Amino acid sequence: MTQVDFIISIGLIITIISIVLFYSISQFETNFNQSKINEIKAKTNSLAKELFETDILTEHVSTLKVKFVETGGLAYNENIKININGDGRKAYANYFNMNKISSDFSNNILNLDLHFDPYETKYITIYYFGNISDASYIQTNENISAKIIMSRNISILVQDKCSYDYLSKLFGTKFKIESKICNVGNSPPETTVVSINYPMLIESNGIEVENVKVLSW
């Protein structure tokens, strides 16, 4: 082997070693980054469940399903009264499509303003912030009948539990919650951040659905 051949051989060996090292390091970095992402994903999912499936940020609310039927063949607006006995302090009502219904709750009476078309059947859900012992329809119009069905308790996100000082003691500082009623946490860094959208019922001048964003890093 001449000196030139020897130099060429050494060069090829160095090139091959460099290529192997490059791909080995790249693969290591890829595996490390994916492992880190998976770790943060698991952390974010766990955080969301603790926030929204316990009473840390939510309040347990009783629900009533109500079916109204117009039987007189007339169209009109009607003030509906539902008597709710329990230990609650407020109540709201929504149509089944989650559109809010104008309502007022005082002295255990929920007043609703509803429009009825002839022979219309209308379904609503009542959200009562407390435990219900019983509920009844106060009939003021013989052409409107109502059937009330007690339903399960659900969790609703409420603003008065949204405190950074409280949450940071539980979960540290590497998180952020983005909601129209609870925007709390720190600005995420420019490193790996995982975010998920968690569908929740929230209290915002009534009850509505929102995809609450949870970020962690």
List, for residues 4-34, the tens digit of each pLDDT value.
554 555 555 555 555 544 444 444 344 447 7
Structural tokens at position 26? 């790249």
Please report whether residue 22 resides in a domain: no
Mean pLDDT, range 167-194, rounded to an integer: 94
Determine, yes or no, domain membership for 140: yes
Of 57, 83, 77, nearest to 144 by C-alpha is 77
| pLDDT over 60 at 103, yes or no | yes
Q: How much is the pLDDT for 66? A: 97
Q: Which amino acid is at 82?
A: I
Q: Do 142 and 88 share a structural domain?
A: yes
Do 134 and 168 lie in a common domain?
Answer: no
Spatial separation of the C-alpha atoms in residues 108 and 144, rounded to whole Å: 21
Domain boundary among 153, 185, 203: 153
- Is residue 68 in a domain? yes
Q: Tell me if 208 is assigned to some domain.
A: yes
Domain's final residue, options 124, 153, 182: 153
Mean pLDDT score of the chain, rounded to an integer?
88
Number of structural domains (the chain) is 2
3-52 and 164-171 helices cross at what angle (nearest 10)? Answer: 130
pTM of the model: 0.80
Domain hosting residue 165, numbered range: 38-57+158-217
Structure confidence at residue 126 (pLDDT): 98
pLDDT of residue 150: 85
Do 73 and 145 sit in the same domain of this protein?
yes
Is residue 167 located within the same domain as residue 123?
no
Residue 1 lies in a domain: no
Q: What is the pLDDT of residue 190?
A: 85
% of the chain surpassing 90 pLDDT: 78
Whether the Cβ atoms of residue 151 and residue 60 lie closer than 8 Å to each other? no
Return d(Cα 125, Cα 209) in angstroms, integer: 14
205 found inside a domain: yes
Residue 202 maps to a domain = yes
Domain boundary among 138, 153, 168: 153
Interval 34-91: pLDDT, tens: 788 888 999 999 999 999 999 999 999 999 999 999 999 999 999 999 999 999 999 9
Tell me, yes or no, whether 143 and 210 share the same domain.
no
Is residue 96, in this structure, part of any structural domain at all? yes
pLDDT at 28: 38
